[in-house]
Amino acid sequence: MLPPLPSGRYVLNRPEKQSSSDQSPLEPMVRKLAYWHDLDAADRAALLALPHTVKSLEQHQYIVRERDRAAYSCVLLSGFAMRHKIVGGGYRQICAIHMRGEMVDLQNSLLGTADHSVQMLTPGQIAMIPREEVTRLAFERPAVGKAMWIDTLVDASIFREWIANVGRRDARSRIAHVLCEFALRLKLAGLGEQTGYQLPMTQEQLGDVTGLTSVHVNRTLKSLEADGLIERVSPRSITIGDWKKLADAGDFDSNYLHLREDEPALA
């Protein structure tokens, strides 16, 4: 028997009672997985039929805490979430940012115990799928399993790039690199444009991504702005003035995102 859901606002979804005109909350997940590997109609139907619970979460609310025994795999339906680790001195390192359609803790479907925390960066909704159901479907339907596998591999590729960013790039390159990555990922998710978007992080959180203090982040953003690489009409509004120069400043190559060669976000 699965443990009870954590407190909060949620609603149980039973796909078999939905009319054909209703769009399942799991549709963003299906679109994301189909981007990585072709899924036929039966694969898509099986994914949409997964039992799930939709839950609304507030900003900073935890999806899973480090050392929890994860009972669910969660799909982010709206808002943004972050993976992070807290080290002995109490400092936080943000390891990943997730957005709509992404399975934020797919690895816990097999690993069981969470080795990091996942927390909402903004208010949003998640779909909680029993991890046994995710595992079952991945093994019953090879195409679905391969899409999930590729999804976790791309997560790992982004993670490696973030390690290189923090470990070997200077402050200016770190910030520019993150701004370029978000431009492509947000455009791909339909949440922004390559030339402009709303950054879903405070300067303090951007510092926790890049290993910099919030003061250093602020100084670096102002430097990029002074050089005409970005414009900001508000603290989180990013308009890219010169994409090539910003990419050069950030040592940015989109190869690690493993986007399709014909991806419009690369145009």
d(CA 183, CA 21): 33
Threshold 0.95, pTM exceeds: no
Strand ranges for the chain from DSSP E: 9-13, 52-57, 62-64, 72-78, 81-86, 92-98, 117-120, 124-130, 196-198, 230-231, 237-240
The answer for 251, left when phi > 0, alpha when psi is -120 to 50, beta otherwise, is left
Q: Are residues 16 and 117 both part of a single domain?
A: yes
DSSP letter string, 98-151: E-TT-BTTTTHHHH-B-SSEEEESSSEEEEEEEHHHHHHHHHHSHHHHHHHHHH
Q: Is pLDDT at 8 greater than 70 in this prediction?
A: no
Q: What is the CATH number of the domain that holds 197?
A: 1.10.10.10
Supply 45's token pair: 């139907």
Domain contains 125:
yes
Cβ contacts of 229-238, under 8 Å, gap ≥ 24: 229/176, 230/179, 235/202, 235/203, 236/198, 236/199, 236/200, 236/201, 236/202, 237/196, 237/198, 237/199, 238/179, 238/182, 238/183, 238/196, 238/197, 238/198, 238/199
Q: Is pLDDT at 45 greater than 90 in this prediction?
A: yes
In sequence order, the 6+-apart residues with CB closer than 8 A to the CB of 107 are: 152
pLDDT at 162: 97
Q: What is the CATH number of the domain that holds 73?
A: 2.60.120.10
Do residues 55 and 64 lie in contact, with contact meaning Cβ atoms separated by under 8 Å?
no
Q: How far apart are the first and last CA of the chain?
A: 49
Domain contains 1:
no
Which pLDDT band, with edges at 50, 70 and 90, does 225 fall under? Answer: very high
pLDDT at 70: 81
- At 79, give phi and psi (nearest 5°): 80, -170
More confident residue, 261 or 164: 164
pLDDT for 172-198, tens place per residue? 999 999 999 999 999 988 898 888 999
In sequence order, the 6+-apart residues with CB closer than 8 A to the CB of 262 are: none
Q: Is pLDDT at 230 greater than 90 in this prediction?
A: yes
pLDDT at 19: 39
Q: Which of 110-114, 115-119, 191-195, 206-210 has the highest mean pLDDT?
A: 206-210
pLDDT at 2: 42
Domain contains 163:
no
Q: Are residues 50 and 107 both part of a single domain?
A: yes
For all residues of the chain together, what is the average pLDDT? 89
Q: Are residues 132 and 44 both part of a single domain?
A: yes
Considering its fold, how many domains does the chain have in total? 2
Which pLDDT band, with edges at 50, 70 and 90, does 21 fall under? Answer: very low
pLDDT at 44: 98
Q: Is pLDDT at 16 greater than 80 in this prediction?
A: no
Which pLDDT band, with edges at 50, 70 and 90, does 217 fall under? Answer: very high
Percent of the chain scored above 70 by pLDDT?
Answer: 91
Residue 114: which domain range?
Answer: 9-157
Which pLDDT band, with edges at 50, 70 and 90, does 99 fall under? Answer: very high
pLDDT at 22: 58
Q: Are residues 144 and 23 both part of a single domain?
A: yes
Supply 230's token pair: 């970005």
Q: Is pLDDT at 10 greater than 60 in this prediction?
A: no
Domain contains 165:
no
Q: Is pLDDT at 210 greater than 80 in this prediction?
A: yes
Domain contains 103:
yes
Q: Is pLDDT at 7 greater than 70 in this prediction?
A: no
Domain contains 3:
no
Residues in the chain: 267
Give the position of tokens 């390192």. Answer: 93
pLDDT at 259: 93
The C-alpha angle with vertex 118 and arms to 117 and 124, in degrees rounded to 5, equals 155
